[in-house]
Chains A and B, each alone.
Chain A
Amino acid sequence: MATLTLLQAVNDALRTKMRQDDSVLVFGEDVGPKGGVFLATEGLTAEFGAKRCFDTPLSEDGIIGTAIGMAANGLRPVCEIQFQDFIFPAFDQIVSEAAKLRYRSGGQYTAPMVIRTPYGGGIRGGLYHSQSGEAYFAHTAGLKVVIPSTPYDAKGLLIAAIEDPDPVLFMEPKALYRSVKGEVPEGHYTVDLSTTRTVREGKDVTVFCYGAMVPVCEKAAAAAAEQGVETHVVDLRTLLPLDEEAVLDAARRTGRVVVVHEAPRFCGFGAEISALIAEHAIEYMEAPVRRVTGFDTPFPNTLEHHYMPDERRVLDAIEATASF
């Protein structure tokens, strides 16, 4: 098995599917000869030609709108939005169109497509190269929202997303692109959408996280272990549809829950987890659910390290929850 970065695993997934299925194609801004601004699509035009991996004009609305038409007419487009921050001109195409096409046509028309986009902070990208907008999309019926945190999952989930019959927003934690490495099998395999991953077993406190917050939570869990607190860490991987049973099982296991995300707190995904537990597992809870999140402000630049949840903030929350 090869050891790949998360970025290489994304590239590998695209290559694997493009080799296997001629209807899979990749397009977006700068994804062709340049290979994408992060190089996720490097080499694809060379291998598959400019009809299957190509650059588009600077229009997210155009990219996603055309992808919907392609998907509805037999192709499997995997389009890239250069930064998740720039997806909003296409909000209408995603929310009103891709997500609702199956429903509004009585299942006659569908949009099996993937929108890949790097998200999140940690690169000194300021307001518009750092955001975590998953909550906007997790609020959208008809869409699937997937966020990997390891190279193995990135490849397996991306292949599953491409094969999925519905539109999938695949958000890639750019802070992890080159900083995490892991073993990735060659060729085709999938990781089921709508399943969580247990990162670490523990009996005292359950931590839910995803994307770039997973390694942060792992470090915090290791530090908590040194103080005798055993943390159960769960990587949600697919936010929509969420594996609710897995979330509830993990919450009931310890009766103490911390939810961590980079996105702002208010109406963030942590609120959904918290509400789910309040509705279905309140009788098991020994402590209030705590959230460790970005602040309810735009994403800053110079002071981004204060904004982003770090090991210390997560550890504080684990300790407070454990000792409640």
Chain B
Amino acid sequence: MTEMMSLITEDGSAPAYSGGLSDEALLRCYRTMLLVRAFDDICMKLQRSGRIGFSVPNKGVEGTQVGAASALRSTDLFFPSYRDFGMALYHGVRPAAMMNNMFGNAGDSAKGRQMPVHFSFVDPIKYFSISSPIGTHLPQAVGAAYASTLRGEDTVTLVSFGDGGTSSLGFHSGLNFAGVWKSPVIFLCQNNGWAISCPSEGQTASDGYAIKAKAYGMPGITVDGNDVLAVNQAVAEAAERARRGEGPTLIEAHTYRMGGHSTSDDPTKYVPKEELEAWAAKDPVLRLRRHLDSRGLWSEDLEARLVKECSEEVTAAVREAEAQPAPALETVFSDVYESVPDHLRRQGEQAFDLARRKGDAAAGDGAFPL
């Protein structure tokens, strides 16, 4: 493994941190991480009680998400993975907007068409529509960055993927193109130890993932993914290089998935208990709390207040999402193309007619409006 950058020390201080996060920004990072945890937690409960169908645990990886997001501008482009709640929340996506996706309701920005955790936002940040097929978004990010460059913008594109994602075809073509084009792209590989049940050793024989950058002609950096400051600094440096026209960077963030792969997974079948315990001690929230404390920015009172606020915010998000109806039937047929072709219009009319006869036309279906 290339040498791992880690900045928050045992006692919470971070003398080597040279990044630009102000006290206020640090507190925002911390609050966002607590918000991710609250959001994650309530989604697990909603799934267990059958109110939503699916979720993916984010516990343990919040440091990487928030460290990276906080190093970028809200005008930069995000090509996230499904396990990146903190990137959206840091930049001000409302928990309720995300919760609407979890419920797949009429308020969902993707109209309830996708599974939970497959977010898509254009506001307040460009958070590219998430696809399930792993690795497809890497070359797409490189293309988006090409467009930014061609227009003379100094936008940076961040693409986030897992250790498993490095085995995809898109990893190779994405890094290869970005190297050749000197694209302003940051490839953020979140090595969280597992790709479902496949440990990192089963994914690659190379000594870590950052080293793969060499073959594509770009710098590769390994960073302590549970250290918000280290991730922030690594991403900030990569962003500066990108904005200077010096090309892409591959960053491997060493972190850990502290839950199962998803609500459909039982990690006790394959994750060694000791491994989980060892990583629990390196919890990114604890690490940042220690740092804030060392700077006099943290107190028990603050903690209690933030936890309460975050919990209220996600509870309100659930209430808002549950008040939304299911999407209207026409959403099955719209957005396939910009305008609805005749054959789809006919299929839609038949579907609506049948729904009405069966009595399961929902509120909002109305006359078929295509």
A interface residues, Cβ below 8 angstroms from B: 29-30, 32-35, 37, 55-59, 61-62, 85-86, 88-89, 124-129, 265-266, 295-298, 300-303, 306-307, 312-313, 316
Inter-subunit contact B197/A127 (CB<8 Å)? no
Distance of A302 Cα from B105 Cα, bound (Å):
7
Contact of A34 with B104 at beta-carbon distance under 8 Å, contacts A59-B167, A85-B132, A296-B344 already known: no
Q: A86-B132, A126-B115, A126-B118 are known; give 11 further A-B pairs, CB within 8 A.
A: A29-B196, A34-B197, A34-B269, A34-B270, A55-B197, A59-B168, A89-B168, A124-B54, A128-B115, A265-B347, A300-B332
Partner of B264, one of A33, A37, A56: A37
* CB-CB under 8 A for A126 and B114, given A58-B168, A296-B347, A298-B336: yes
Stretch at the interface among B83-91, B198-206, B234-242, B305-313: B198-206
Is A301 a contact partner of B336 (Cβ separation < 8 A)? no
* A33 nearest in chain B by CB position: B270
Q: Is the interface of B mostly helix, strand, loop or mixed?
A: loop
Contact between A128 and B198, CB atoms less than 8 A apart: no
Q: A32-B197, A58-B168 are in contact. Are A306 and B114 (CB under 8 A)?
A: no
The stretch that binds A, out of B151-159, B281-289, B350-358, is B350-358
Of the candidates A58, A86, A89, A298, the one having the most CB atoms from chain B within 10 angstroms of its own CB is A58
Q: What B residues does A58 contact at CB under 8 A?
A: 134-135, 164-165, 167-168, 195, 198, 203
Would B198 and A301 count as touching, CB distance under 8 A?
no
Chain B 267-278 near chain A by CB (<8 Å), digits 1 or 0: 001100000000
Taking a contact as CB atoms under 8 Å apart, the answer to whether B269 and A302 are in contact is no
Task: Indicate with 1 or 0, residue by residue over B110-151, a CB within 8 angstroms of chain A CB atoms.
Answer: 001111001000000000000111110000000000000000
Once the chains are docked, how many angstroms separate the CA of A201 from the CA of B223?
66
Verify A30–B202 contact, CB threshold 8 A: no
Chain B, Cβ-Cβ closest to A42: B269
Q: Are A303 and B326 touching (Cβ within 8 A)?
A: yes
Question: How far is it, in angstroms, between the C-alpha of A295 and the C-alpha of B355 when the chains are bound?
Answer: 14
Nearest CB of chain B from residue A31's CB, rounded to whole Å: 9
Taking CB atoms, residues of chain B closer than 8 Å to A127 are 113-115, 132
Contacts of B327 in A (CB 8 A): 302-303
> Is the Cβ of B354 less than 8 Å from the Cβ of A313?
yes
Q: Does A34 contact B354, Cβ atoms closer than 8 Å?
A: no
Interchain CB contact under 8 A, A124 and B53: yes
Q: Sort A-B residue pairs by CB-CB distance and give the 4 closest, nearest first.
A: A128-B132, A126-B115, A34-B197, A302-B112
Tell me whether A125 and B115 are in contact (CB under 8 A).
Answer: yes
Residue in contact with A302 in the complex, picked from B198, B202, B326, CB distance below 8 Å: B326
Contact A295 B333 (CB under 8 A): yes
B329: Cβ under 8 A from any A Cβ: yes
Please indicate which of the listed interface residues A55, A296, A297 has the most CB atoms of chain B within 10 Å of its own CB.
Answer: A297
* B-side contacts of A56, CB under 8 Å: 198, 202
* Contact between A297 and B336, CB atoms less than 8 A apart: yes
Contact with A along B289-313 (1 / 0, CB 8 A): 0000000000000000000000000
**B74 close to chain A: CB less than 8 A:** no
A7 CB → nearest B CB, Å: 14
Q: How far is the CB of A130 from chain B (nearest CB, A)?
A: 9
Cβ A57 vs Cβ B204 within 8 A: yes
B331, CB-defined interface residue at 8 Å: yes
Q: Tell me the minimal C-beta distance from B166 to chain A in angstroms.
A: 8
Offer 26 A-B interface pairs, CB within 8 angstroms, sorted by A: A29-B198, A32-B197, A33-B197, A34-B197, A35-B269, A37-B264, A58-B165, A58-B168, A58-B198, A59-B168, A86-B132, A86-B133, A125-B115, A128-B133, A296-B343, A297-B336, A297-B344, A298-B113, A301-B113, A302-B104, A302-B112, A302-B327, A303-B329, A306-B332, A306-B351, A313-B354
Residue of B nearest to A130 (CB): B115
Q: How far is the CB of A92 from chain B (nearest CB, A)?
A: 10
Give the residues in chain A near B197, CB-CB below 8 Å: 30, 32-34, 55
Would A62 and B167 count as touching, CB distance under 8 A?
A: yes
Contact B115 A300 (CB under 8 A): no
**Residue B180 CB within 8 A of the other chain:** no
Bound-complex Cα distance A33 to B197 (A): 8
Contact with A along B175-203 (1 / 0, CB 8 A): 00000000000000000000111100011
In the complex, residue of chain A having the shortest beta-carbon distance to the beta carbon of B337: A297
Q: Is B25 an interface residue (CB 8 A)?
A: no
Q: Nearest residue in B to A57 (C-beta to C-beta)?
A: B167
B273 to chain A, nearest CB (A): 15
Report chain A residues within 8 Å CB of B115. 124-129, 301
Q: Is the CB of B332 within 8 A of A30?
A: no
How far in angstroms is the closest Cβ of chain A from B106? Answer: 9
Q: Does B215 contact A (CB under 8 A)?
A: no
Q: A57 — which chain B residues lie within 8 A by C-beta?
A: 164, 167, 198, 202-204
